[in-house]
Structure 1
């Protein structure tokens, strides 16, 4: 089962997938939760979530996370980014970019009307390690 080239893994990560965010917890199994995301110019994963969400609180404590995207049809493939995290107050431009990535321009803008940016954070998972696998020939 071959790994993707770095360029192929980056392109796969930049395709639109619903990602799975995994964060360690001290008293329970890791939290694994599906989430929308974007990728910055350096290949780091960017997520937008509530500042008081379980995700944000756990990432704040752990300081690191794993993030996986996959293709669920033949030929199967996945990319996982593992890394340290940073967070900042959410900004309209990043939230809009993520919403439009999944819902298109009009749908993303409409979504933001019901999901205000205030009270949210942008979390970056810095790409410390990249894992991938593909069944492409």
Structure 2
């Protein structure tokens, strides 16, 4: 039987290794758009970057409501769903810093600077999601 994760458990779970999140944003017609993202936690915020002209970038600039799901696809099947509001920024120093931190998580510390330089450029957005609601369960198949 599934059990709720503690605050410490869900934060560790979403930050483990290279798990991606599936991000849901709101299209202009109200329908959902879902896409995988790389991210890092920063305190009570979730941080990622995306292209300003991408579907998610345009959606977030118009409507900051988001939901994200991070899951384990093997038994006993744990998952975390986060809901919140996103704020976008085009500050290049911030963007370069966080793009580097995200690159380090997913591609290794030795490539952090490379990813910061690649993704910390005009046309990219830094997205900071303030987490409002958490649903986190472990051992769903137990």
Deviation at 1:4, TM superposition (A): 0.8
CA distance in 1, matches of 2:7, 2:116: 33
Aligned residue in 1 for 2:103: 99
1:23-78 deviation line (CA, Å, top 9, x unaligned): 12243631010010111022x21111111211111112222101111111122111
Residues paired across the two proteins, number:
136
Aligned residue in 1 for 2:134: 130
TM-score, normalising length from structure 2? Answer: 0.85
CA distance in 1, matches of 2:59, 2:48: 14
Does residue 1:11 correspond to 2:12, yes or no?
yes
Aligned residue in 1 for 2:124: 120
For structure 1, the residue ranges without an aligned partner over 5 or more in a row are none
CA contact (8 A) 1:102 1:108 kept: no
Q: CA RMSD in A?
A: 1.9
CA distance in 2, matches of 1:48, 1:58: 13
CA distance in 1, matches of 2:127, 2:32: 18
TM-score, normalising length from structure 1? Answer: 0.88
SS at match of 1:126: strand
Residues 62/51 of structure 1: CA separation in 2 closer, same or farther (3 Å cut) = same
Residues 112/94 of structure 1: CA separation in 2 closer, same or farther (3 Å cut) = closer
SS at match of 2:74: coil
